[in-house]
Structure formats: C-alpha cells, structure tokens
Amino acid sequence: MKARFDIVARRRWFFLLSGAITVLGLAAFLLFGFNLGADFRAGSRVQMQLNEPVDVQKVRDMFDKIGLSVPQGGVTVAGTRNDMAVVRFPEVLTQDQIAKINQAEKQTFPKSAGADVRTVNPIVAQQTSRKAVWAVLLASLFIVVYVSIRFEYRFAISGIVALLHDAFIVMSVFALLRLEVDLTFVAAILTIVGYSINDTIVIFDRIRENLRIAKPRSFSDLERLVDKSLWQTMSRSINTVVTVLIAAVTLYFFGGQTIHNFNLALIVGLVSGAYSSIFIASPLWVAWRGRQMRRSAPEKHPA
C-alpha cells in the first residue's frame, strides 16, 4: 500500500481538536450569547439597503426627524460593502410608522433600495425559538431511527455526534462574531445537519460494504478497514464539498443581502461537515466498535 496519512490511528488528535473547538465555542456562548434577530426577539428590526457607506449619525438623524428614538447601540452596519444599516427598536412599530420610515429613507438616502421591516411580539418570538430547537432535535431523532434501521445504532449515534458537532461549531462562530441569528439561520443549521449526515452516510456505507467483504478479526484489522474506506471515498468527499462550496461561496459574495448570514453559516457548516464526516464520525465508530470487539475477542484470538 502506498504511504498515506493514517486517519484512524491519529483519531485522538482529531477528538482533541474538536474537543478544544467545542470548549472554545462553549466559552463564546457563555461570554457573548447569541445576537438574536427580530425573529426571536420581540420588537422591530428595520433593515435598509442604502447602497452607500452607512453614516450612523445620518441614520439616527433620519429616525429622530420622524419622531422615533433609536436606542443606544441600535444601529448596526452590515453588508459586504458596509452599505446596509440595521436599526432595532424594542417596540413594535405600527404600519403608519413604517410608511413614514419608507418615506424618510427615500428622502435622506436617494440611492437606497428600500427597507425590510420586521416586527414581532414577544409571544411569537418565544414560540419561534422553541420551534427552532425542537426542529433540530426532532430531525436528529428521526435520522437516528432511519440510520439505526439501515445500518446499526452505533453508526447512527456516531453520525449524530458529528452533525451536532457541526451545528455547534456554526453556532459558536455566530456567537463569536456577534452575527445575527434569525429564522434563516435555523434553516441553515438544518441544511448543515442534512448535508453533514448525507456526507457521513456515504462513508459509513463504504465501511458497511467493506465489512461484508472482509470480516475484521482484530481491532487493528478494523482500524485498517475503516482507514481504507475513508481513503476510498476521499476524492468523492472532497469533490462534493467543493461543488457545494462553489455554490455557497458565490451566493455569499454576490447573492441577496438577506441571505448573507445564511450563506456564511452554510460555508462554515459545509467545511465542518466535510471535516467531521471524515475525521470524527468514522474514527468515533471505530473506537466504540473496537472497544466492544476487544472486550469479547481476547479468548478467541489471543494476541
């Protein structure tokens, strides 16, 4: 066999790496928490595509003129070219106020493409966040059931650990960068969950197939088999993530502003998903399966 990087043998390094990232992510949550978007936090959010560099004072003045006081730190600058202003209000704006905003915006910022105004009341905000968490958990549960039926429960659990790892990394990045978390973010997390498990299953499928051809008799046999499976599927893993990344990166840089964060979440999640499918899910399965093998094997196969 050609000399190549032995992934399974070095699994402890990857577990350590992912563990470190997880701890960092947890710290980020505890320190910063989420920057919840209008979908999860009661109040109003006005997003204005100004098509010119945002002058925060000018934005504030505009709102003052129509009798709306912008709270401290209520204006955020966003967009790839810093040409988008996001203004938050703790209160729910009325349709009359929204009409006024649209009018004032056209006068103050002639290049502006208009505003996207969202208002949410507390009950809905709470309901939405609860639904989001349930969606991720339930999706995982159904995936576990399906994979357990088609493969075995160890594969299912290892795959779920990998996908939760990916979802967690994306959430950590958003907490760290103070990026806004809204409903499309939830859609992004769910897509990542879908992609991550999709990617993992392809590798698991190859392991399952190789297991049928050669029955490993010892733990090192098993390690070799999984490592071989990983390398057999490697070019597919890379080629696929590259194609999906091509789409996500292009949409990130040139797509509509409202899906900007969505695409960033996807990019982070896709990279993490490809990584965890190769370096976490399968090695985890080996460690787990191998432990049981070592427990039952010694009498039959003394070393």
Partner 1 sequence: MKTKRHRKWGRFLAFLAIIAVVIGLTAGTSMKVWKHIPLGLDLQGGFELLYQIQASPDKPLTPDGVKAAVQAIELRVNNLGTGSPNIELEGSDQVRVQLAGTFNQAEAERVIGQTADLRMYGNATQDKTGKWVPDEKTLLATGADLKPNSRWAQDPTTGQNVVTLEFKDAKKWQDITTKYLQKPIYVFLNGQLLTAPTIQSVMSNGQSEIYGPTLNTPEACNELAKELNAGALPYPLKLISSTNVGPSLGFASLKATMWAGAAAILLIFLFMLVLYRAAGLIANVALVAYLYLVLLTFAGMHVVLTLPGLAALVLGVGMAVDANIITYERIKDEMRNGKSLQSSVIAGNKRALRTIIDSNATTFIAGAVMYWFGQGDIRGFAVALMISIVVSMLTAVLLSRAMLLLFTKSGVAARPWWYGAGKGVVQS
Q: Considering the complex, what minimum distance in angstroms separates the CB of residue 221 from partner 1? A: 20
Task: Convert residues 217-236 into a mask of x (bound to partner 1 by CB under 8 A) and - (unbound).
Answer: ---------------xx-xx
CA 276 to chain centroid = 13
258 binds partner 1 (CB under 8 A): yes
Q: Considering the complex, what minimum distance in angstroms separates the CB of residue 67 from partner 1? A: 16
Q: Considering the complex, what minimum distance in angstroms separates the CB of residue 242 from partner 1? A: 7
130-159 binders of partner 1 (CB under 8 A)? 131-132, 134-135, 138-139, 142-143, 146-147, 150
Q: Considering the complex, what minimum distance in angstroms separates the CB of residue 10 from partner 1? A: 24
Interface size with partner 1, residues (CB under 8 A): 71
Among 55, 255, 271, 287, binds partner 1 (CB under 8 A): 255
Q: How far is 259 from 241, CA to CA, in rounded Å?
A: 20
Other Cβ atoms closer than 10 A to 228: 17
295 binds partner 1 (CB under 8 A): no
Other Cβ atoms closer than 10 A to 270: 25
239 binds partner 1 (CB under 8 A): yes
* Count of positions (residues) in the chain: 303
181 binds partner 1 (CB under 8 A): no
75-134 binders of partner 1 (CB under 8 A)? 94-96, 98-99, 102, 113-121, 123-124, 128, 131-132, 134
Q: Which is nearer to partner 1, 23 or 138 (CB)?
A: 138
Among 55, 152, 205, 221, binds partner 1 (CB under 8 A): 205
At 142, which helix (H) or strand (E)? helix 122-150
Q: Considering the complex, what minimum distance in angstroms separates the CB of residue 218 from partner 1? A: 25
Question: H helices of 33-121, where?
Answer: 56-65, 95-108
Q: Considering the complex, what minimum distance in angstroms separates the CB of residue 21 from partner 1? A: 23
Tokens of 254: 């040139």
Candidates 16-24, 27-35, 66-74, 197-205; binding stretch for partner 1 (CB under 8 A): 197-205
Residues 6+ apart with CB under 8 A from 91: 43, 44
Q: How far is 65 from 103, CA to CA, in rounded Å?
A: 12
Q: Considering the complex, what minimum distance in angstroms separates the CB of residue 30 from partner 1? A: 27
Task: Provide the sign of the torsion angle of the four alpha carbons 274, 177, 133, 86, taken in this order.
Answer: negative
Q: Which is nearer to partner 1, 244 or 293 (CB)?
A: 244
Task: Convert residues 21-60 into a mask of x (bound to partner 1 by CB under 8 A) and - (unbound).
Answer: ----------------------------x-----------
At 229, which helix (H) or strand (E)? helix 219-232
Helices then strands (H, E): number in the chain?
10, 6
266 binds partner 1 (CB under 8 A): yes
Q: Which is nearer to partner 1, 202 or 297 (CB)?
A: 202
Strand partners, 36: 181
Strand partners, 86: 47, 76
Q: Which of 75, 117, 125, 71 is nearest to 96 (CA)?
A: 117
Q: How far is 41 from 90, CA to CA, in rounded Å?
A: 9
